[in-house]
Amino acid sequence: MANVHADPDKLRQFASALSQSAQQLESIARQLQRGLDSTGWQDSERQRFEQDFQQTVRTLAQFTDRLRSQICAPAAEEGSGPRQVPGATAVPEVRTRDEALAAIDRALTQWQAEAAGALIQAMTAAERAHAAAEAETTRRARRVAVLQARLRELSSADSQQARALYAQIQRQLVDAEQSLEAARQATWRIAEVTRQVARLQRSHARTAEASVSAARADLASRVTALGAYRAAGAGTAIAAGVVGVPGIAGPIGAAGASAVAALAAAAGPAAPAAAGIAEWLADRGLTEIDVAEAGFADNPVTGSFGRGGLARADYRWAMTTWDQVIRPGLDRGMSRDDFAARDAARGASPQRRTADVYDMFLGTDPVRVERLADGRLNVIDGRHRLAVARELGVTHLPAAVTGL
Amino acid sequence: MTGSLDPPAIAYADAVGTLERALAWTRPQWDDSARPAFDRQRAEPLLADARRTTTGLSQLAQELNTAARLLPNTA
Query: Per residue in A283-309, pLDDT tens?
Result: 888 998 988 888 877 777 766 665 666
B28 — contact with chain A (CB < 8 Å)?
A: yes
Contact list in A for residue B73 (CB cut-off 8 A) is: 43-44
Could you give the C-alpha distances from B61 to A48, A71, A292, B9, in angstroms and in order? Answer: 15, 31, 58, 7
pLDDT at A57 over 60: yes
CA-CA-CA-CA torsion sign (A124, A130, A133, A135): negative
Quick one: average pLDDT of A75-85?
Answer: 39
Burial A136-155 (b: 16+ CB within 10 A, else e): bbeebbebbeebeebeeebe
User: Please, which residues 29-48 of chain B have a Cβ atom closer than 8 Å to chain A?
Assistant: 29-30, 32, 34, 38, 41-43, 45-46
Which of A34, A124, A211 minimises the CB distance to B45? A211
User: Please, which residues 2-21 of chain B have a Cβ atom closer than 8 Å to chain A?
Assistant: 2-19, 21
CA of A97 to nearest chain B CA: how many angstroms apart?
Answer: 5
pLDDT at A281 over 60: yes
Provide the pLDDT for residue A195: 95
- In chain A the first and final C-alpha atoms are separated, in Å, by 69
CA-wise closest residue to A361 among A304, A310, A314, A322: A322
- Longest Cα separation, chain A: 118
Q: How far is CA A366 from the centre of its chain?
A: 32
Whether the complex's predicted ipTM is more than 0.90 is answered with yes
Provide the pLDDT for residue B45: 95
Burial A301-311 (b: 16+ CB within 10 A, else e): beeebbeeebe
Q: Show the DSSP H helices in A250-332 as ranges.
A: 254-267, 277-283, 312-321, 327-331
Are the beta carbons of B5 and A126 separated by less than 8 Å? yes
Q: State the Cα angle at A43 between A41 and A48, rounded to 5°.
A: 95
Are the beta carbons of A196 and B18 separated by less than 8 Å? no
Helix H, strand E, coil C: the string for A175-211 is HHHHHHHHHHHHHHHHHHHHHHHHHHHHHHHHHHHHH
Element spanning A295, H or E: strand A294-295
Provide the pLDDT for residue A403: 80
CA-wise closest residue to A332 among A270, A387, A240, A399: A270
- Which is it for strands A367-371 and A396-403: parallel, antiparallel or unpaired? parallel
- Which is it for strands A377-381 and A294-295: parallel, antiparallel or unpaired? parallel
Interface residue of A67, A111, A223 to substitute, partner B, most B CBs within 10 Å:
A111
Provide the pLDDT for residue A156: 85
